[in-house]
A and B are shown apart, each in its own frame.
Chain A
Amino acid sequence: MANISVTATLPLGARRAGDSLWQEAWRRFRRHRLAMLGACVLLFMVVAVLSGPLAYRVPIDEIDFRAKLETPSWAHPLGTDDLGQDLLARMLYGGRISLAVGVAAMLIAIVIGTAIGAISGHLGGPMDHALMRITDLFLSLPQLPLLLLIIYLFRDVLKDVFGPEIGVFVLIVAVIGGLRWMPVARLVRAQFLSLREKEFVEAARSLGAPTMRQIVRHILPNTFGPVIVAGTIDVAAAIIAESSLSFLGLGFPPDIPTWGRILFDAKDNLDFAPHWALFPGAAIFLTVLSINYIGDGLRDALDPRKVLGQS
């Protein structure tokens, strides 16, 4: 088996002895040009929103009516909004929240999805059946209306408990994550069902490995590939979901200028200040596009069939 895989992958780029599968995957990922480009753009975005506010020290809420609705200039690289607030500063600050929502919601989706998929695939039987029916049910829920309903009903409570910023953040992240775990659960379950019967798991079982160890050491690591791909796509979907909410005016409050929120404020001034809407919109689009390309590259890089050189 090992012999076959080495000879088969050789023409693709020589798997050297001693390289781990992760290095192998990285080499394949690097060959996907658009995915690499996406990774660079995303890295640039992350660095910009993390270090930007430290370097670009313009306050996000400095109101200056003399400079309102200005197009980009040296004083305001991305222009200003209707209160004369600097758009670059607001976008750098809001980008942190937009990206953080994406990553946090993805983590929640993956944790719930993996747990449910693992339980379902491992136990089988009536438990599996029940969990899969619940998964199907969640898949047929209309996401945005439900998201709006939950936020509408619970926003005020969480605001009182955690304060306006963290309260809304927790709510949005939890709800977006809680409505996106189903594909991960299905993937993990499918992997469990096939891996459970594989020889190496059987070997571990016959060597006396307890159930927990079989799952955590032997089965779970083999599900990482598809889960990582699904998680990448989830980050993009969560960013779009948060932006949609904010765009409808039902996400973050105006003092937390996420990209979607800036678009919401900008949309009524489209005819005389298009730059106000175009910059945050382009930021969302570029981020999501990059993440989607990265997902595509990861799918190629982590595909186990390609690792074995059989495709």
Chain B
Amino acid sequence: MPRYLLRRLFISVPVLFGISLVLFTILALAPGDPFEELATNPNVPAEVAQQLRQKFGLDDPVLVRYWRWVVSMLKGDWGYSFMSRVDVDTLILQRLPTSLWIIGMSQILGILIALPVGIYSAVRPYSVFDQIATTFAFIGFSLPTFFTGLIFILVFSIYFDWLPFIYRSDIAATGWRWAWEYLRQSIMPVAVLGLFQAASLTRFTRSAVLDVVQLDYVNTARAKGLSERVTIAKHVVRNALIPVVTLVALQIPNIFTGAVITEQIFRVPGIGSLLISAILSNDTPVVMAITFVYSGLVVIFNLVADLLYGWLDPRISYAGAR
């Protein structure tokens, strides 16, 4: 297993490198100057702007600039936010836990809904339950997160007045009361994101389980007298989860798409809403850094998926160990 982990880690390095190359190419191709904001600011004299340009080496050849950018990203020196007047990495580290909390909770919610529903649907295909579940899954992944979010606000905040629709990081309470308030305001963003995830996950699970249920070894398991419950739980699900994990890994970039929108709707102070406000205020270093953080998260989550994969299907981790 450790060797397998090491091998997967090794594969993700070129991916990160490729992503950095794509990001930098986009930035290099972009017209205008990332420091335009500074240069056009009348409070900054021309020679200071020139000095800054020299300090940041904006007039050097592209390859040199790329190399310097990569090195400084690796060293954790991510630049300085023009708007907030703090270092970009401090800004992002402040916001990241909130984002990860929302994304993590919604993933858990999605899995908790999708696995039982998908498995039960596949065990009784074309039953009433399956048809209802399939219909809801179709509706679920056709409803864009921004619309679900607005409907949730309309129903639960405005009509029933049960839940707050603005996410606050400064709750004026302590102890249990604080935890309760924090949980209460997380419900809607987590539900919006989680239900969207659950919809496609249910479909994946259903078709994966459906493929496995028909195999001969499942009949063997039944024939040797195992109960239906044990057959499904021990023999079917574990094998069916292998393709599900692959598909979930492919879905990860989509999760972040949903997360950005959800954060924006509920004003969750995470990196997604920071990205939007940075774009609206032309804060290039922040925009670049957040895009890179999202890419990094995709790679990390893919690594987690790989590990799960190796655990579910030991053949995979042994294959490379030879």
26 contacts between A and B (CB under 8 A): A133-B18, A137-B19, A140-B252, A140-B298, A142-B253, A142-B297, A145-B256, A145-B294, A146-B22, A146-B291, A148-B275, A148-B279, A153-B31, A154-B30, A154-B31, A157-B31, A236-B142, A240-B144, A247-B261, A248-B264, A263-B146, A263-B150, A270-B154, A288-B144, A292-B141, A293-B138
Question: Do residues A145 and B19 form an inter-chain contact, with CB atoms below 8 A?
Answer: no
Nearest chain A residue, comparing its CB with the CB of B299: A140
Please name all residues of chain A whose beta carbon is closer than 8 Å to the beta carbon of B288 when the two chains form the complex.
Answer: 149
Q: A249 contacts the other chain (Cβ, under 8 Å)?
A: yes
Q: A243 contacts the other chain (Cβ, under 8 Å)?
A: yes
Question: Do residues B158 and A270 form an inter-chain contact, with CB atoms below 8 A?
Answer: yes
Question: Do residues B139 and A149 form an inter-chain contact, with CB atoms below 8 A?
Answer: no
The complex places the Cα of A248 from the Cα of B252 at a distance, in Å, of 21
A-B contact count (CB 8 A): 134
Q: B231 contacts the other chain (Cβ, under 8 Å)?
A: no
Q: Which of A120-152 contact B (CB under 8 A)?
A: 133-134, 136-137, 139-146, 148-150, 152
The complex places the Cα of A149 from the Cα of B295 at a distance, in Å, of 13
Q: B26 contacts the other chain (Cβ, under 8 Å)?
A: yes
A270 partner, pick from B32, B150, B260, beta carbons under 8 A: B150
Q: Output the least CB separation between B135 and chain A (Å).
A: 8
- Residue picked from B26, B144, B256, B275, most chain A C-beta under 10 Å: B144
Nearest chain A residue, comparing its CB with the CB of B294: A142
Question: Do residues B254 and A140 form an inter-chain contact, with CB atoms below 8 A?
Answer: no
Interface size class of A (residues with CB under 8 A): 35 or more
The complex places the Cα of A155 from the Cα of B132 at a distance, in Å, of 44
Nearest chain A residue, comparing its CB with the CB of B253: A142
A residues neighboring B (CB under 8 Å):
133-134, 136-137, 139-146, 148-150, 152-154, 156-157, 236, 240, 243-244, 247-250, 260, 263, 267, 270-271, 274, 277-278, 281, 284-285, 288-289, 292-293, 296
Q: B265 contacts the other chain (Cβ, under 8 Å)?
A: yes
Q: Output the least CB separation between A144 and chain B (Å).
A: 4
- Residue picked from A133, A140, A271, A277, most chain B C-beta under 10 Å: A140
Q: Output the least CB separation between A295 and chain B (Å).
A: 10
Question: Do residues B291 and A145 form an inter-chain contact, with CB atoms below 8 A?
Answer: yes
Mark B295-308 against chain A: 1 for CB-CB distance below 8 A, else 0: 10111001000000
Q: B219 contacts the other chain (Cβ, under 8 Å)?
A: no
Please name all residues of chain B whose beta carbon is closer than 8 Å to the beta carbon of A281 when the two chains form the complex.
Answer: 144, 146-147, 150-151
Question: Do residues A145 and B32 form an inter-chain contact, with CB atoms below 8 A?
Answer: no
Question: Do residues B275 and A145 form an inter-chain contact, with CB atoms below 8 A?
Answer: yes
Question: Do residues A244 and B279 form an inter-chain contact, with CB atoms below 8 A?
Answer: no
Nearest chain A residue, comparing its CB with the CB of B252: A140
Question: Do residues B142 and A288 form an inter-chain contact, with CB atoms below 8 A?
Answer: yes
If A139-B250, A145-B260 touch, does A285 touch B142 (CB 8 Å cutoff)? yes
Question: Do residues B26 and A142 form an inter-chain contact, with CB atoms below 8 A?
Answer: no
Nearest chain A residue, comparing its CB with the CB of B271: A145
Please name all residues of chain A whose beta carbon is closer than 8 Å to the beta carbon of B145 when the two chains form the complex.
Answer: 244
Mark B251-272 against chain A: 1 for CB-CB distance below 8 A, else 0: 0111011001100110000000
Q: Output the least CB separation between A113 and chain B (Å).
A: 15
Nearest chain A residue, comparing its CB with the CB of B283: A152
Please name all residues of chain A whose beta carbon is closer than 8 Å to the beta carbon of B221 when the two chains form the complex.
Answer: none
Question: Do residues A289 and B139 form an inter-chain contact, with CB atoms below 8 A?
Answer: yes
Q: Output the least CB separation between A291 and chain B (Å).
A: 8
B30 partner, pick from A153, A270, A293, beta carbons under 8 A: A153
Please name all residues of chain A whose beta carbon is closer than 8 Å to the beta carbon of B26 when the two chains form the complex.
Answer: 146, 149-150, 153
* 5 more A-B residue pairs beyond the given contacts A143-B253, A152-B279, A248-B261, with a C-beta to C-beta distance below 8 A: A137-B19, A144-B256, A145-B256, A148-B276, A153-B32
Q: B63 contacts the other chain (Cβ, under 8 Å)?
A: no
The 10 closest A-B pairs by CB, nearest first: A153-B30, A144-B257, A289-B142, A281-B147, A142-B294, A137-B18, A288-B142, A247-B146, A145-B294, A142-B256
Chain A contact residues, majority secondary structure: helix
The complex places the Cα of A294 from the Cα of B27 at a distance, in Å, of 39
The complex places the Cα of A277 from the Cα of B156 at a distance, in Å, of 16
Please name all residues of chain B whose beta carbon is closer than 8 Å to the beta carbon of A288 when the two chains form the complex.
Answer: 142-144
Question: Do residues A284 and B147 form an inter-chain contact, with CB atoms below 8 A?
Answer: yes
Question: Do residues A145 and B147 form an inter-chain contact, with CB atoms below 8 A?
Answer: no
Please name all residues of chain B whose beta carbon is closer than 8 Å to the beta carbon of A142 when the two chains form the complex.
Answer: 253, 256-257, 291, 294-295, 297-298
- Residue picked from B150, B154, B254, B265, most chain A C-beta under 10 Å: B150
The complex places the Cα of A250 from the Cα of B264 at a distance, in Å, of 12
Q: B83 contacts the other chain (Cβ, under 8 Å)?
A: no
Please name all residues of chain A whose beta carbon is closer than 8 Å to the beta carbon of B299 when the two chains form the complex.
Answer: 140
If A141-B295, A145-B275, A156-B32 touch, does A285 touch B147 (CB 8 Å cutoff)? yes
If A140-B15, A144-B257, A150-B26 touch, does A292 touch B154 (CB 8 Å cutoff)? no
Nearest chain B residue, comparing its CB with the CB of A260: B146
Please name all residues of chain A whose beta carbon is closer than 8 Å to the beta carbon of B280 when the two chains form the complex.
Answer: 249-250
If A142-B253, A149-B288 touch, does A244 touch B146 (CB 8 Å cutoff)? yes
Q: B190 contacts the other chain (Cβ, under 8 Å)?
A: no
The complex places the Cα of A281 from the Cα of B276 at a distance, in Å, of 21
Nearest chain A residue, comparing its CB with the CB of B278: A152
Please name all residues of chain B whose beta carbon is closer than 8 Å to the beta carbon of A156 when the two chains form the complex.
Answer: 31-32
B19 partner, pick from A141, A157, A248, A271, beta carbons under 8 A: A141
The complex places the Cα of A137 from the Cα of B14 at a distance, in Å, of 9
Question: Do residues A140 and B302 form an inter-chain contact, with CB atoms below 8 A?
Answer: yes
Nearest chain B residue, comparing its CB with the CB of A292: B142
If A137-B18, A289-B139 touch, does A284 touch B154 (CB 8 Å cutoff)? no
Question: Do residues B253 and A141 form an inter-chain contact, with CB atoms below 8 A?
Answer: yes
Question: Do residues B144 and A250 form an inter-chain contact, with CB atoms below 8 A?
Answer: no
Q: Output the least CB separation between A276 and chain B (Å).
A: 10
Question: Do residues A271 and B158 form an inter-chain contact, with CB atoms below 8 A?
Answer: yes
Please name all residues of chain A whose beta carbon is closer than 8 Å to the beta carbon of B297 when the two chains form the complex.
Answer: 142
Q: B287 contacts the other chain (Cβ, under 8 Å)?
A: yes
